[in-house]
Structure 1
Amino acid sequence: MAIKSFQGKRSTQTIEVQEPILVSDYMTKKLITFQTHQTIEEVIETLISNKISGGPVVNEQNELVGIISEGDCIKQISESRYYNMPVDKNNLVENAMVKNVETIDGNMNIFDAANKFLASKRRRFPIVDNGKLVGQISQKDVLKAALQLKANTWK
C-alpha cells in the first residue's frame, strides 16, 4: 500500500504590505545649479571640479528654465573649432542649454522612474514641486535604490 503525501496543517501566511519606494526617497536635494547668464567656460569648470555630467539651470526664483550637460558644452567647443574661433567668453548658458526639459514627479515609484530612464535615454531628471526645483534623480540614484532592496520587496 502506497503512502499518500501529507502536508499537515497549513499555517496562514502573513503578507507584508510595503510602501512603494518613491523617487523623493532617493533624489539628490543639494544640487549644483547653473544660471542663464553664466558662461560655458564657467559651466565646464564647475562640471569638472565637481565630477558631474550636467545640471539644472534655474532663474532667481529657483524655477527650472533648462538643463545643461557635458554634451551641450562639447557642442559649443566643436562649433567654435568649426568656425576657427576660441570658445567665446560671451557664449552663455541660455544659448547652449536644453529648454524643453522633461521632469519626474517626486511621488513616482522608483521602478516607474527606471522605465522612464530607459524610454527617454536621459541621464538625469529634475524634480519640480509647485514650479520650484526641489531635486534631481539620476540613473545612479535608481541603481542605489535597487541595491538597497531585497528580492521580496520588488514590486
Structure 2
Amino acid sequence: MSIKSYIGKRAKPTKGSSENIKVSDYMTTNLITFRPNQSVLEVMNTLIKKRISGGPVVNDKNELVGIISEGDCMKQISNSRYYNQPLQDFKVEQHMATNVDTIDGNMNVFDAADKFLTSKHRRFPIVENGKLVGQISQKDVLKAALQLKGRSW
C-alpha cells in the first residue's frame, strides 16, 4: 500500500515570491505576556487596557506554559459570580489553556493561514529552543497578504 500526496508539484520559488515569506517575518516579538501566578482580574485589566484578546503565559525562564484568553476570563466571571468568590482570588494557572499549539517561525506565512483556518485559533505562539520568541495572529497574516497585494500568489 502506498500513500499518495495530492499536493501538486510546486514551482521553485522566485526571489520576492510568497514562498519566501516566513512567519518570522510577520510575527510580533514585543509581546504582552502573563505569569501563572497573576490574578485573572489583572489579566482582564491588561486585555482591556492593551486591546488584545489574549496572550501567552510564560514561566520565569520565558518558557511557554499556556495561553489565556478573553474566553477563559469570561468563564471565570461566570464561576466567580456563581460561587460568590472575588476574581482576584483566581490565578491564571488555574484557568489558562495548557495544551497549546505552536508553529515554526520558518513556516510559510500562507501555510500558517491554512493552519488558522483549520484550527480556529486567533493566535499561535512561536517557540525556539523551548523559549517563547514571538506570536503570529490572523491580523499579521492579513498584513502579509496586503503587503503582497496578491501579486505572487
TM-score (norm 2): 0.86
Output the CA distance in 1 between the equivalents of 2:121 and 2:69: 11
Residue 79 of structure 1, CA deviation: 1.1
- Matched residue count: 139
Contact map agreement 2:76 2:87 (CA 8 A) in 1: no
Q: Return the alpha-carbon distance in structure 1 between the equivalents of residues 86 and 114 of structure 2.
A: 37
Q: CA deviation at 1:152?
A: 3.2
Q: Quick check: which has more Rg, 1 or 2? A: 1
Gaps of 5+ in 2: 1-12
| 2:60 maps to amino acid | E
2:62 maps to 1:62: yes
Contact 1:76 1:87 in 2 (8 A): no
In structure 1, how many angstroms separate the alpha carbons of the residues matched to 2:43 and 2:150?
Answer: 41
Which residues in structure 2 correspond to 1:23-42 (within 5 Å)? 23-42=23-42
Instruction: Give the SS at the match of 1:89.
Output: helix
2:90 is equivalent to residue 91 of structure 1: yes
The letter of the residue matching 2:28 is T
SS at match of 2:43: helix
1:49 matched residue in structure 2: 49
Q: What CA distance in whole angstroms lies between the structure 1 residues aligned with 2:72 and 2:150? A: 39
Counterpart CA distance in 2 for 1:152 and 1:80 is 51
Gaps of 5+ in 1: 1-14
Cα deviation, 1:10-34, whole Å, max 9, x if unaligned, reads: xxxxx94435210000000000000
Give, in whole Å, the separation in 2 of the partners of 1:53 and 1:147: 22
Going from structure 1 to structure 2, the CA distance change for 1:16 and 1:35 (only over 3 Å counts) comes to closer
Cα deviation code 1:47-92 (max 9, x no counterpart): 1110100000000000000000000000000111222x14332200
Name the counterpart of 1:122: 121
SS of corresponding position for 2:151? helix
* Cross-structure match for 1:3: none
Percent identical:
68
CA distance in 2, matches of 1:151, 1:138: 19
Equivalent residue number for residue 136 of structure 1: 135
Matches within 5 A, 1:102-113: 102-113=101-112
